Amino acid sequence: MKEFFPFSVHSQYINEFSFINPEGYLSLNITKPPVVSVDVNIEAHPLKAENYYTVTLTVKFNATNINNNTEDDIEEEFVAFTGYISYVAFVHIDVPVEDALIDDVAAEINPEKVKEKDMKIQFTLMVEVAQLLFPFVRNLIANVTREGGFPPLLVNPIDFEGMYRANVLDRLPEED
């Protein structure tokens, strides 16, 4: 049994995109490799139309470095660059008829079936759709850092399934 439903992406687009090089030319004269941090978040929201959702993949990234070109020869940490991208997909999930018939009445009879359907929808949105969006976001980040005067920041592949499973485990009630 598959853990996800088939889906189709009707559109995908940049919602927000920001890149800042706060130190200007100083950050371009660095001799040590920067310390890079990347923070990834995924959100999914249902739309009014049945089985339609938006999925937002957000990546915050920044690099810090040491400036040792000061007159006092003191090393100072500074932000080389910082960025943010919010990338959205408009998605339709193709829920099979037998699963689509599970409603509130069925929930009273068999709550596990409803939970299973909801988990498959969440897995589809948070893992499968996120994996589809990631290469586009990775490419945009690489291009903007390169255009900002730095080597391209190639974000390492993300284990979206691992992130999803960790979040699901965090939400489970602890047993006494």
pLDDT tens, the chain, 176 aa long: 457 788 999 999 999 999 999 887 776 676 778 899 999 999 999 999 888 999 999 999 999 987 765 566 667 788 889 999 999 999 999 876 555 555 555 556 656 666 777 888 889 999 999 999 999 999 999 999 999 888 899 999 999 999 998 887 676 555 54
CATH architecture, domain 7-171: Roll (3.10)
Dist CA 132 CA 147 (whole Å): 25
What local confidence, expressed as pLDDT, does residue 176 receive?
44
The SS3 of residue 66 is strand
Q: What is the pLDDT of residue 58?
A: 98
DSSP letter assigned to residue 173: P
In angstroms, the CA 24 to CA 103 distance is 57
- Contact indicator for 59, 38 with CB cutoff of 8 Å: yes
Residue type, 86: S
Look up residue 18 and give its two tokens.
């920001």
Report whether 61 contacts 37 (CB < 8 A): yes
Question: What is the model's pLDDT at position 53?
Answer: 95
- Name 27's Cβ contacts closer than 8 Å, sequence gap at least 6: 21, 65, 78, 79, 80, 81, 149, 150
DSSP H/E element including 56: strand 52-67
Q: What gap in Å lies between CA 134 and CA 140, rounded to an integer? A: 10
Helical ranges in 66-127 per DSSP H: 97-100, 104-109, 111-123
CA distance 36 to 84: 13
Residue 17, pLDDT score: 98
Q: Taking the complete model, does pTM exceed 0.85, yes or no?
A: no
b/e map of 72-107 (b: 16 or more CB within 10 Å)?
A: eeeeeeeebbbbbbbbbbebbbebeeeeeebeeeee
Backbone Cα Rg of the chain: 21
pLDDT at 6: 85
